[in-house]
Amino acid sequence: MNKRRTLEWDWYAGTIPENVLVDETAYIETTFSFYFYRSQLPGGVEFGRGASTYLGTMFDVGPKGRVKLGQFALVHGARIICDAEVLIGDYAMISWNVVLMDSFRVPLNPVERRKELELVPTRRPRLAAATVPARPVKIERNVWIGFDVCVLPGVTVGQGSIVGARSVVIEDVPPFTIVAGNPARLVRRLTEEEINRHA
């Protein structure tokens, strides 16, 4: 990132917002990742040492949202929907088309939801406003999340865990386990030998 907060290699003519903190060793493939970014908080997004985001990653962060990428976290084409807090731990690996969401944004009640959807065309960018409470999402250290996974509000994915491709994670994942499915269920616990490799 240069002094103008642009990226020399970027195909999109955007800038990195002033309240995004980027370690000098971090990598952002494109400023288009911030197209839906609206956080007004200091450090609305923080990139730790060696953290990287690649093409397709979108920070859909509301005015009171905050996202933190730990050291050497790698996010490849994920959508991060955040109205409170999404934490991605050190050495976490997030595959393409993953959705991490701390909020459903719209009410479950169909009448209220319809009212909100009728307002979307009047907004720039065209987004639903956060009308329901957000619940933070935490992806702990050394987690590997496979492609097309959806992690729902309030979930913590425990240290060293693996989430199988196309899973929907609706509840906390214990540390050092493998989960998969819709909804995600325990497949097995990692062996002591596997856990020691994560230390």
Ramachandran class of 127: left when φ > 0, alpha when ψ lies in -120 to 50, beta otherwise: beta
Looking at residue 190, what DSSP letter applies? P
Q: 196 Cβ partners below 8 Å, 6+ apart?
A: none
Peptide bond into 183 cis (omega under 30): yes
Fold classification of 20-198 is UDP N-Acetylglucosamine Acyltransferase; domain 1 (2.160.10)
CA atoms within 13 A on the CB side of 60: 21
Q: Coil, helix or strand for 18?
A: coil
pLDDT band at residue 172, thresholds of 50, 70 and 90? very high
pLDDT band at residue 198, thresholds of 50, 70 and 90? low
Q: Which residues pair with 68 in a beta bridge?
A: 46, 87
Per-domain boundaries in the chain: 20-198
Per-residue pLDDT of 76-127, as tens digits, reads 999 999 999 999 999 999 999 999 999 998 888 899 889 888 988 998 878 7
Per-residue pLDDT of 141-162, as tens digits, reads 999 999 999 999 999 999 999 9
Where is average pLDDT lowest: 31-35, 161-165, 182-186, 194-198? Answer: 194-198
Listed residue (94, 91, 98, 96) closest to 151, CA to CA? 98
**Higher pLDDT, residue 135 or 107:** 135
Listed residue (143, 139, 151) closest to 176, CA to CA? 143
Per-residue pLDDT of 46-85, as tens digits, reads 999 999 999 899 999 999 999 999 999 999 999 999 999 9
pLDDT of residue 90: 98
Ramachandran class of 195: left when φ > 0, alpha when ψ lies in -120 to 50, beta otherwise: alpha
pLDDT of residue 199: 58
Listed residue (73, 58, 62, 88) closest to 151, CA to CA? 88
Per-residue pLDDT of 8-49, as tens digits, reads 999 999 999 999 999 999 999 999 999 999 999 999 999 999
